[in-house]
Amino acid sequence: MTVRPFTSHAAVHSGVARVTLAGELDLDTAFHVRDTVAACLVKQPTEVRLDLTGVSFCDCSGLNALLAVRSSALRAGVGLRVEGIGTQPARLLALIGADGLFAERASSATAVPAPCAAEADTRRPDAAMAVAEKAPLRGLLA
């Protein structure tokens, strides 16, 4: 059950979709992430920026939504940048061995002047599948 209200905001400008999430990303709210990013992908951006700075909690349903969003972006040929992964969501990713998929890295200059503090590894589309095939992950998402 969600204690802190969940919010999502999305905007597509100059080919970049920025999705800002806040609150608890859990069973009750995970579908919002998938729906919001799917709506952005319909507009055919060249990049999706997922800001998790305001996410205070993430459970396995939220993790599943993040992996699904990453997979959707990869299938659409759209780059995915993630910024602001907090301590608790980062620990959950590390526990299942998926921390490299959403690792924060300094980004290079982009067409949009807003800074991006992290970039997911979208060079290896097979990476998401490799993580999904790990037994501990299957147990969490089943």
Q: Which residues contact 75 (CB under 8 A, 6 or more apart)?
A: none
Residue 35: pLDDT band with limits 50, 70, 90: very high
Domain boundaries, the chain: 7-141
Render pLDDT for 9-21 as a digit per residue (tens, 0 to 9): 999 999 999 999 9
- Among all chains, which residue has been given the structure tokens 């990013």? 37
Render pLDDT for 73-132 as a digit per residue (tens, 0 to 9): 999 999 998 899 989 998 998 898 888 887 554 333 333 323 232 333 333 334 433 434
Beta bridge partners of 25: 58
Q: What is the CATH number of domain 7-141?
A: 3.30.750.24
- Indicate the pairing of strand 7-13 with strand 16-25: antiparallel
CA distances in angstroms from 31 to 65, 114, 116, listed in the order given = 7, 27, 24
